[in-house]
Amino acid sequence: MTASQSLVITGPYTFNRESVAIKPKVAKGHARVITEYGGICGSDLSVYKGKLAHANYPIVMGHELYGTVVEADDKGVFTQGQKVVVQPNLSCGECDLCKKGKRNICRNKQTLGVTKNGGFTGFIDVPVTNLLPIPQEMDGKLAVLIEPLAVIVHAFRNVTIEEGDTVAVLGCGTEGMLSAILANLLGADVIAIDINQEKLKLMDVHEDIEAGLPGILGEEYDHVVEAAGVPQTIAQSFDVVKPGGNILAIGITGEPVSIDANKMVRSDVSVFGSIIYDFPKDFERALEFLKNYPKQFSHVVSKVYPFADYEKAFETALSGKAGKVLIDFKTCGDMSIKD
């Protein structure tokens, strides 16, 4: 086994299926994982469109990953055949923020599929410290949601959502959908909005969550989750949050934003920015939610494509008309290339 079929992006809007060399021996502290499912994330689309300034090209894409250990690590932490998901962010452990336990905002953070080769490939070597074991019987299509759900679990740690609280979620992309579902499971009365009717249709299966165009918003909510990452919804968050309420900012925008600083100060509004997660605790919490409520989360995944149809998978993800789009790497059989 000398190489593996991989999805490589060589520059904005340019990607191909290529063979990428595999190291003959797994490094110490690493396990070799065969990818089974990979989720296409918004950051993958940003890399594709050339909108992430820190992205490296050429690079193997993909960081939302579920697979099976095919070569155990040297310490036997993970054994052959173990199902796992990947925590794709690598912190340095040495900077001031890492030493304060804030590895999610490490000053030297590296990310699979963005700055280091990712997992849209046959095999990937991952540090054992970045792997979470998954029950063998768990559906891999559900398990691949652990990474994006961990983002929401981490953000929600900033506030206390209680039975009967009101929550407005602005934006119904994957993270918005996950936010609405999780807030609902925590007992909140949830309303979710978007300007994309196709995304709103994806929320129809959740009878306890009201979803619609921005015009359905009421006046005030205990908690507002900004998940769209556009200036309009960021500003709108300040319009609809209650005095003493909370805004959770999880959307990412590169555009200038105007906020109502007077309302933030005079109404004692708390604003929390949140990025990725703490591993393993946020992954473990996400796993528990997915295990306990598989039906509520199963509809987040709306399309699964074989690896051979990767172009169609990205076309669907870019269209904004689908929920989470997955690539199924199992459909290609043995993706290794031998001499």
User: In order along the chain (339 residues), what is the average pLDDT of each group of 10 residues?
Assistant: 88 92 91 97 93 92 97 94 97 96 96 96 95 97 98 98 96 96 97 95 92 94 96 94 97 85 92 96 98 96 95 95 94 59
β-bridge mates for residue 159, sequence order: none
Question: From start to end of 227-284, where are the E strands?
Answer: 241-249, 270-273
Q: What is the pLDDT of residue 333?
A: 56
Q: What is the pLDDT of residue 275?
A: 96
Rounded to 5 degrees, φ, ψ at 220 are -145, 145
Say how far apart CA 228 and CA 226 lie, in whole Å. 6
- Which residues lie closer than 8 Å to 100 by C-beta, 6 or more apart? none
Q: What is the pLDDT of residue 331?
A: 73
Question: From start to end of 166-276, where are the E strands?
Answer: 166-170, 189-193, 209-212, 221-226, 241-249, 270-273
Cβ count within 10 A of residue 34: 20
CB of 73 closer than 8 Å to CB of 21: no
Say how far apart CA 287 and CA 293 lie, in whole Å. 10
Q: What is the pLDDT of residue 150?
A: 98
In Å, how far are 82, 118, 156 from 287, measured between CA atoms?
16, 22, 15
Say how far apart CA 40 and CA 224 lie, in whole Å. 26
Q: Which helix (H) or strand (E) holds 327?
A: strand 324-328
Say how far apart CA 331 and CA 318 lie, in whole Å. 23
Q: What is the pLDDT of residue 2?
A: 79
Nearest partner of 62 among 332, 281, 321, 307, judged by Cα: 307
Say how far apart CA 26 and CA 62 lie, in whole Å. 20
